[in-house]
Chains A and B, each alone.
Chain A
Amino acid sequence: DGGITQSPKYLFRKEGQNVTLSCEQNLNHDAMYWYRQDPGQGLRLIYYSQIVNDFQKGDIAEGYSVSREKKESFPLTVTSAQKNPTAFYLCASAGSQETQYFGPGTRLLVL
């Protein structure tokens, strides 16, 4: 059945380490998005991609990187340059309409 999957559900990062969060969708959606949620705050856009091999920075892209080599996949790397990485990360995708559908999220914790 169609949907958006994110893995892992929990991820631990050591100081100075890069970690990659996976996002896969089988909805045949062109657009994919990464958001970050912190306690008491709304969702803030990190990066988005409207088509394969193209992506744009969102509002808080510093310390993150992405790639979009396949339509189905939009991995997010949290680099060591991101000084406050602890958050709940959400991936979303959208088709021809503007409604975005979200995955279950990945919680990143720093050791």
Chain B
Amino acid sequence: DQQVKQNSPSLSVQEGRISILNCDYTNSMFDYFLWYKKYPAEGPTFLISISSIKDKNEDGRFTVFLNKSAKHLSLHIVPSQPGDSAVYFCAASASESSGDKLTFGTGTRLAVRP
């Protein structure tokens, strides 16, 4: 049972344009969401997070939007740069029931074309 889903395995975007990566979840107990970026053969790097009490969090070129009613979050990268090409993982936790355990999606591979 995949509780965190990233339905697009890949995405290709022109440099300078906006990249939008999507993530859906099924567990209504999730209250904290994170995005990680991962290069091949390296550990994931934390990008940005959002608590369920917010619907938007912004950090430079990265913005995460949370729609609790739709159980959906998205990561916007604008403007996209070639160095953003990587696999992006969405993750979620239900702090009250599972401590700090994270449930990960299967990832979306972003390719930014020069």
Contact = CB atoms under 8 A, between A and B. Distances in A.
In the complex, which range does the number of interface residues on chain A fall in? 20 to 34
Contact of A98 (B36, B42, B44, B95): B95
Given A45-B101, A50-B99, A98-B95, A103 B89 contact: no
B64 interface: no
Contact of A105 (B43, B49, B89, B99): B43
A66 interface: no
Contacts of A41: 106
Contacts of A100: 34, 46, 100, 102
Interface residues of B, number: 24
A101 B46 contact: yes
Given A42-B106, A43-B104, A107-B41, A99 B89 contact: no
Contacts, number: 61
B100 A50 contact: yes
Interface in A21-56: 31, 33, 35, 40-45, 48, 50
Contacts of B41: 88, 105, 107
Contacts of B93: 98
B34 to A, nearest CB: 6
A66 B59 CA distance: 36
Nearest to B109: A40
Contacts of B104: 35, 42-44
Contact of A104 (B9, B43, B91, B106): B43
Given A45-B101, A50-B99, A50-B100, A104 B32 contact: no
B49 A99 contact: yes
A19 interface: no
| Residue with the highest number of chain A CB atoms closer than 10 Å, among B34, B36, B89 | B36
Interface of A: 4, 6, 31, 33, 35, 40-45, 48, 50, 58, 88, 90, 92, 94, 98-105, 107
